[in-house]
Structures are given as structure tokens and as C-alpha cells.
Structure 1
């Protein structure tokens, strides 16, 4: 069988193009970054083709909370539903393209879903846009196809997907070997809500032209049956009412922690804030604080029994748009509750276990820290 393709020009001349290796791995990476549609979004989801938004090339992946980048992922994209899509690229000539690359990707995914601060990802996207001389908000609205899109809601969705493990791992190579294909098929059948796929991009050259032919590999009918599809709608959890969420917390943790969470809920309600339960496999409740200049999401409680002070979601609210103000909150939490956070958690979500807040005196100390935060946001100073 001939490993070539033929292009017929308008003048009826024929261009014969032969399969050839990519000149370098960097070239393939650059092509994916410049032309994300190569990731065959219509093959990934035929009923609702995926569109890709590049967050960054060489995205740093921390190995601990607040840590610096321990690894470097080739590409991080998000699709139009805010599903983070991790892409690792290897040429066929790289012998690691079979097993070692799988271990690398699992390292990136396992740590990224836990340690990537959402605001840091958003800032990385803004830097990527700035390097390309594009406005980040305009680029995102174009990606979503809606000029009136709620961008804050989109980024919250990315965060929910990430924390729920609702991600997509994509292995890209010019040749996908049978060994990698079998591994990908196995992982995709076993992992949920995460999705694992491989993409083979055949490369043809001839007469100064270059042709790329992507082919999705790794999907099986059994995997699709088990997952029931992998869209945001199908993997999102049910929309719980607040009382239902507290009942689930009591079941998954215990009644004492649920009671403590209820008192935290009541405190925020007394501040005039709205409370929303996220749609995720492991939903949390989030506090929405409205102020004169907009709104932010300063706190929440997770089903794993952690109380969150969401510094990453107050970074656009004065005075917490400065790292100094966020560090002050972080240091107060560390000093008050004997917690140890890395410096980067000033851009993330420091947590305090519900178990430490069951005594009224401990809760009052947290409320004092939060009260200062609320007052400063509302005053804008």
C-alpha cells in the first residue's frame, strides 16, 4: 500500500506527497499551538465538536501545594466547556513514546488537578495572549462564540472541572504504536470522569507543501458505553440544593463537621452573601460576595472537609489585587491554625480542616480573618 497522498491543483497538475518524519518535535508542538484544530475536535466529540483554547506551551506543573513547577507539560488547552486538556507530544523516533510518556502524563494529571491554582492558569492564558498581542478577554469570547459570555463563570467552570478530575489527556505523535494504543484504550475505559485519547498526525511533504492528517486513536465502544459520553453535561454531578449538600457532607464526613459547615454558611449569609452549590461529582458550596465594583468568590467548603479561603478568586478585588495583601491573609491563617502553606498559595486556595473549627473560639478566629477580608473588599482599600 502506498504511503502517500496526491493533491490535484486547479490547473489539473498532480502533486505527489510522501510520508515523512517531522523535522523536529518542536515543529509539531508549534503547529499544535498555532493550529489547535489539528486536535480533531469533531472526532473527539462528533455530536458537539470540541474547540480548543491554548493556555500555554510548556505549562509548569507543581508537585506540591504552593510549589514551583516540577514538570513541564507540552501544551495545556481548555475546550469550550472549560474542560482542561493536557497534550503531550512525542515523535515516533523518540523511544519514550510508548510507556514513559504515559507515566509522565499521569504525573502531570495527578498533580495538576490538585495543585494548579486556577488564577495562575488564567494569568498564564493572559500572558500567552499578550505574547501574541491579543486581548485575553476578546480571545476567550471568540473561543466561546458569545460576545456576551460570562468570563468569570467560564473560569469557575474550568476550576470545577479541574478539581473534579474532569480532564482530557491527549498523546500526540506522528506514529501511535500498538503498545501505546492498547494502554490508551485501557486507561480510557477505566478512568472516569477523565478521558484518555491518542492522536496520530501523519506528515506528508512534496513540492514545497506540507500536509497533516490527524487520526484519533484509543476510543472504543466499550469505553464510550461505560462513560456514557464525556461531555461536561454528562459528567457534571446533579444540582444539589443547599440542604441536600449538607446531608451529603454529613454522610461522607460526619454530623459534627456538617454542623460546623452549617455555622460557616450562616455566618456568610449574615454578611449578605449568596451561597451556590457547584455542579461537580464532588460539589462544594461557594460564597459569592457582591461589592460596588463587581463580585468575587472569597470562600467555600468542600466535601472533603476542607474550608477554603479562595485568594485566587479575590485577585481582581482591591486591595487583594496585590500579592502583599493576599500574603497577609495567608500568614494570618498559618499563624492562627498552625497550617503550613507554600508562598504560591497566596495565589491559590489555602484550606483549614472543618475538624479544627468545631470549637466556637476557633471559628471566631477564622471569622475575624474573613471579616477583615470582606470589609477591605467592600471599602476597596
Structure 2
């Protein structure tokens, strides 16, 4: 990075948080709100703290390194910061931020609203405080190491993370390539050479008065089936479903893998969007919320395509009906509530048949179009 030092990187992140490509690894961690630099913790001074309106925590350590030993040391350092954060309450976090910013009256919620005024009407302070407090208590955060010497050869660092049980974190290494353009300022090009694929390394439980480490939800899923990388956003979403009905995440992932041949894929932000892609069209036929409700009203401008699918779903899932609006054909229960993911998973064969019908309709529409 030439003559640029770590303080310069800190200020860059604080003043232009979008330089961090966080959504590449954690789609729900947006928008980013920079909070402070040099946050005082029991283990040292954290370079950058950022939050989201959902109460997600992002801690960033800026390092211009030149050797593998320094890389391993900075990973250990940032994990120590995560552990120190886990020991904080919401009030003590605010106190530390006040010290870093040198603002006696600083309030984190007010800062988020001032930074993102468009969230004023939707962001409840009590909900925000509870979310931050919960994430502090669980050690749930995104660790970002930002530097210049990060290359694809750092995958071995992921193994080092396995030693740290009890923290719900993901690690992302971000490389910032800085280029001076004479007479035209500076260009910063970020990239992500590594992100961890497991979030919860282990969970400490007390059994007969003795602490034991058991496999995380992510690990249990990976033992049951081969799964895609699990992000913090996905972990939280699946944990919510499993909290309502244990084992749901395994059943859901297995089902989604069983219909991949029908061009079905999925993404998770605040909700899970389950889509079918044929040609140039991507149709979100199911959008699942964290309570398990399965919405079919996101497939806009696809009323005719969805009709045959919904009719096949009614044949597959008892107690459901077709509901039409001027623009949509949707699936509802007889009591007008949304079907649940358990309704779907309890009728997998029939739902697959419905997806086959949708796939045929989309292919036909692609050919005719």
C-alpha cells in the first residue's frame, strides 16, 4: 500500500465504510454504520467498530503485514477483541465508545438514526438495544481483517479458528489495493481472498457440573448432509426455525438440494428467497420468514406462471387454497394464513411435482418468448 499506514486505513473505513465488501460474505449486514476508531477494550484498542440497524456488530483490524507469522498473530488479536466484546454489556459498550469518540453524551441508537435518518420510523430503540445486547452476550460478530498483504495462501488460518469455542463469529479477510493516479487522486480496490465457512465453532454446555464442547448447529447440519457455506445471517435464520421445530434446518437444506436439478437455488438476507431460474428469468416462488411462514406473493408479474404451480401445490398440501389478486396468484391456508415450511416439508413429493410443473411452465414461456 505504498506510504499509506494503518491509521490511514482506519480513517478510510470510518469515513467510507462501503469500502468494506461485507455483503459479499454477509448479505444481511447492511447498511454499515461506522461508530468509532480505537475502541478501548480489556485486550487493547480495536481499530474500527461498525454496526447495522439490525444490531449486528462488525469489528475490523487494519494490518499492513509482510509475513505469515504476523498474519497468524493478527487473527489471534482480533479473536481476543471478540472475546473482550463478549464481556461487555450494552451500557459498557456505549461507555467505551464515548471514550473513543470523546463525546460524553454519545448514544449508539441516536448515532445510527442520525447516520441513517430513513430508518427513523422503523427502528425501535428497545429492539435495537436488545439486538446489540444479545449479540454481545453470544459473541456474535463479524471479524474483518483489512490489509495489503492478504493473498489466497491464507486458507490455513481457518484451521486456527477451530480452537475458539463459544463464539458465534465469522472471519473475513479483506485486501485493499491502493493505486495513486497522478493528478486524479487515489483508487482503492477491495477484494475478499478468504472468508470462513462455519460460524459457531462449538458450544460450551454444562453436564454434571463439567463443561463440555458440543458441535454447533452448523456442524450438525454438515454431518447430516453436504451444505453450502453458512454465514452469520444464515445461522441466525436457521436457528430461529430450529427453535420452533428442531431439525427443520437439516430437512430444509436436504429438500432444497433434492430440487437443485429443477434450477432451484436460494439466498438469505432477512428472509430466505427460494427461486427457480430458467433462461433469463428468476422467479422467487417461495419467500420464507424466520417464523416459518412461506409467502408466495413475491413472484410479481408472473400470475400465469404461478397459477399451475399453485394448483399443483393445493393438490399436494392439504388445507390450502388458491387466492388471486389483480397481479398475483398465491397460496393460502383455508383460514387465509400463510402455509408454513413444515406444510411444505411434510409433503415433499407433491411439492417436487409442483416444482416440476413450474419448471415446465417457465421453460415453455422462455421458448415462446
Whose relative contact order is higher, 1 or 2, with alpha carbons under 8 Å and at least 6 apart? 1
TM-score of the two chains, using structure 2 as the length reference: 0.49
